[in-house]
Every structure is written in structure tokens, then in C-alpha cells.
Amino acid sequence: MKVLVVGGGGREHAICWKLAQSPKAEKIYCAPGNAGIESVAECVDTGAEDIEGICAFAAEKAIDLAVIGPEVPLAMGIVDELEKRGVKTFGPNRKCSQLEASKSFTKAFLGRHNIPTAGYREFTDKDELMASVGIYGYPMVLKADGLAAGKGVVIAENEADAKAAIEEMMGEKVFGSAGDKVVVEEFLTGVEASMLCFVDENSIVPMESAQDYKRVFDGDKGPNTGGMGTYSPSLLFTPELEEQIRTRILEPTLKGFQEDGLDFKGVLFIGLMLTDEGPKVIEFNNRFGDPETQSVLPRLESDLLDIFVAVTENRLADVEMKWSDDKAVCVVAASGGYPGSYEKNKVIGGLDKVDDDVIVFHAGTAKKNTAELGCAGSGKPGCTGEPHMATVTSGGRVLGVTALGKTHEEAKAKAYDNIKRIRFEGMQYRTDIGTINRR
């Protein structure tokens, strides 16, 4: 089969890496890909949000299966467009993508189907929201309704902060039209966990659990990021909890999709708060998590291509899904300054020093000539010797180092032992990925 993966981050590297192990994957393309994805797929110079460009490429190469990584093209309706042209596509269509693209759509869905979640109200008028400030007390949870690259949620500690956030979202429109509607929620306390599930029209099958670390600094300090590391399986999940999630959340969700005519096919990523009253849904995403995927897929023993095809054909219930007992830890190396502003084009050294059984998933990387960068002969890591093509940073999250081990501790030690061999100017990573932080 000829497969096209859309996206160019660590998640897409993990998807391409796993697909490349399938004997049925005759050719894998990735649009746009990155410097690491090049080693497992042919990168195509088309942006993930260039829907026309992607469709044209898929037609030209007679792609048998397209797999969509990021949420933005999904919300734009890339799946509908590809399917219209006869390309089998793994990922939810535009209608189902509202589950991530609109918080208010999801809250209404959860409410309608009695799925546990925080109480909420929604506002489209700034003055009305200002007058309702603190309706659920403090901290006050404010969410821009639309997609905001993971930045649309504000947890305001007091009235002044809440009013400032409302002004930014609805007055200054810092998230653009994503802030036309704002959802206010009850504040939930507990520990967060994520659950990724394969979904087709007949079944919902959870993958192995994973734990994400969203804050930039150790001890869950500092601003939220896309995710600074993950481990799998989660140390928080027990058989009792899994049973509660299955009966209270997964089964009613599938039934809700069927009742509402939501023909969801792809990955449903459920953000959960494990509260004293049991697990509650914080959010739905409609795609693989990044960097959850980088610690979950390396533990999958079954053929990922078989699973993707089965989902697109509503045969998910028939595929056997086998997971390794090995534990995985993925530590993300980010650019200095991330999630704020950061510099690019820092040469990455030490990639060749990493153990063979450790996987380096690239996220924000590119290839540049050291002569062009002006560092040839400078002695900087990765930049020594004659001018050559070097791997450089090109994004906030640069790479994720995933190690597997017989025990969680072994995987964690190995991931840290290896990430220390990689260097670039400004490189930052958390030193506590894999440690349970209870807030």
C-alpha cells in the first residue's frame, strides 16, 4: 500500500516509524515531514494545512491510505476532501472534528449523553461574561471555544486575572474567532491522565494508557506547553479505574456518537481528571496526542497499518491488538525560551551517540548546510569539520527521546542517560518525566 501521513511533528515521526515496520507498507510519504521523518518516509514539500496541495498529491501518487496527524487540517475538513476524491483516510471528518474544534459542541455532547464532566456555561457576550465573573468561584476556568494551539484555556486565580483573561479573549481577540464564544467551567481537582482510543462506527478500543507532562518546568511549574514528555503505561491506572472509564465514559461516548449520527473514524484522545467522584472528561481531542504517541506506539506489537485500514472500513472489532509489557518513557528536548519565543537553526549534536535501541523522534528539526549557517569549523557540537548538511532546530519542541525497559525505572534511566548525549544551544528538558507529581 502507498500511505501518506499528513503532519511534521514528533507524533507523525512515531506514526511513520511504526508504519514503516508493516510489510504491507510499500511506500510511505509524509507531508511536510521533518529531518527525522526522512529516515522512514519520503518527505513531501506540502504543508499540512494545504488541503488542495495534499489532495492533488494523493491523486497524483494514487495513495491507498491517508493518515492525518494534526487537529487543524482535520477541523478544516481534509478528510471530507480526500474521501470525496476516493482516498481512504484515517481521521474524523469535519463534522466529528468539532469534538476538538469546539469546546461548546463537546460540552453539549457530554451533557446530552450523561458523561461525567465539569459543569459549565457558555458566553458570546463580553459584558455578560464580565458580570458573571467568578460564577463557580475561584480558580475560574475560562476556555476559548475554538482551536487555539493548546493555549486557549486560562485558569484564573482571582477576579482581576479572570477579567484580564476575558478582555484578552473577547475584547482583544488574542485567539481570533476562537474566542467569539467562551466556555466557563467548574474547577475540577484531581490528577490528570490521558486515554487514546481507536474508534470506528461500531467500536471504541482504548490503547495502552499514557501520562503527559504539560508544564514546561520540573514539578509541574511554569506555563503550559504542547507536552514535555510522557510515559506509558500510566502508573495511575488500576483495573477498577479502567472499568469505570469503560462503563461511564467510553461506552456512553460510542453510543452518543451513534445516536447523534457522528460517524467518527480515527483516534479519540480523552483528557481526564481523576477526581474523588471518579474520572471526568476535561476535553476531547480528535487525533493522536503529541507526545503521548511517542511512548504508546513503540509498545504496540500489532501492525499499525492493519489497524488504520480496519478503522476506515469499520472493522476495528476484528483486529487483534497486542501490546508489549515493556514500559516506555519519552523525554522532550525543547528550544530555550519555549513555550514563549525561541531561536531556530541551532545545530543538534550527539544524535549519533544515542543507543541503537533508543528512538529519537524528531519534532521541530530541519536540515541546513553548516556553511550557510556560518558555523562550519566553529567547533560547536554537530558543526565541526568541512561544511555539511546538519540537523538543526526549527521549532519549539525539537525532539523526543523514547526508551523502553522491562521496568518503568529502567526505561526512565535509559531515556535520561541518552538525552544527555544530545546537545544544542539553549536545549531544555524536564528532569522529572516519569515521576508522579501529585498536586
Residue numbers of the site for ligand AMP (CB under 6 A)?
Answer: 118, 141, 143, 153, 155, 185-188, 192, 214, 271, 282-283
Distance in Å, CB of 118 to ligand AMP, minimum: 4
Smaller CB separation from ligand AMP, 102 or 370: 102
Is 193 or 296 the residue whose CB approaches ligand AMP more closely?
Answer: 193
Q: Choose among ligand GLY, ligand AMP, none what residue 283 binds, the Cβ cut-off being 5 to 8 Å by kind.
A: ligand AMP
CB 332 within 8 A of CB 11: no
Residue 253: which of ligand AMP, ligand GLY, none does it interact with, CB under 5 to 8 A by kind? none
Decide which of ligand AMP, ligand GLY, none touches 118; Cβ closer than 5 to 8 Å per partner kind.
ligand AMP
Is the CB of 47 or the CB of 222 nearer to ligand AMP?
222
Nearer to ligand AMP, 141 or 309 (CB): 141
State in angstroms the smallest separation of the CB of 248 from ligand AMP.
Answer: 17
Number of residues forming the site for ligand GLY (CB under 6 A): 7
* Site track for ligand GLY across 153-192, x = CB under 6 A: ----------------------------------------
Nearer to ligand GLY, 138 or 217 (CB): 217
**DSSP notation for 172-236:** S-TTGGGGSSEEEEPPP-SEEEEEEEEE-SS-EEE---BEE--EEEGGGEEEE-S-SEEEES-TT
Beta strands at 266-275 and 215-217: parallel, antiparallel or unpaired? unpaired
Residue 367, number of CB atoms within 10 A of its CB: 14
Nearer to ligand GLY, 130 or 191 (CB): 191
Task: Choose the one of ligand GLY, ligand AMP, none that binds residue 289, judging by a C-beta under 5 to 8 angstroms depending on kind.
Answer: ligand GLY
> Is residue 212 at the binding interface for ligand GLY, with CB under 6 A as the rule?
yes
Cβ 414 to ligand AMP shortest distance, Å:
28
Q: With CA atoms as reference, report the closest residue to 422 among 369, 361, 376.
A: 361
d(CA 141, CA 126): 16
CB of 11 to ligand GLY, least distance (A): 7
**Residues in contact with 83: Cβ distance below 8 Å, sequence separation at least 6, in sequence order:** 89, 93
The Cα–Cα gap between 243 and 82 comes to: 37
Q: What's 302-336 look like in SS3?
A: CCHHHHHHHHHCCCHHHCCCCECCCEEEEEEEECC
DSSP summary character for residue 117: B
Contact 119, 137 (CB under 8 A): no
9 binds ligand GLY (CB under 6 A): no
By CB under 6 A, tell whether 100 contacts ligand GLY. no
Please list the residues that pair with 66 across neighbouring strands.
4, 89
- Comparing CB distances to ligand AMP, the nearer of 30 and 141 is 141
H runs (alpha helix) in 271-407: 292-296, 304-312, 370-373
Between residue 265 and residue 294, which ones bind ligand GLY under the rule CB under 6 A?
285, 289-290, 292
Strand partners, 89: 66
* Nearest distance, CB of residue 52 and ligand AMP, angstroms: 30
Secondary structure letter of residue 16 according to DSSP: H
The answer to whether 57 touches 91, Cβ cutoff 8 Å, is no
Interface with ligand GLY (CB under 6 A): 212, 226-227, 285, 289-290, 292
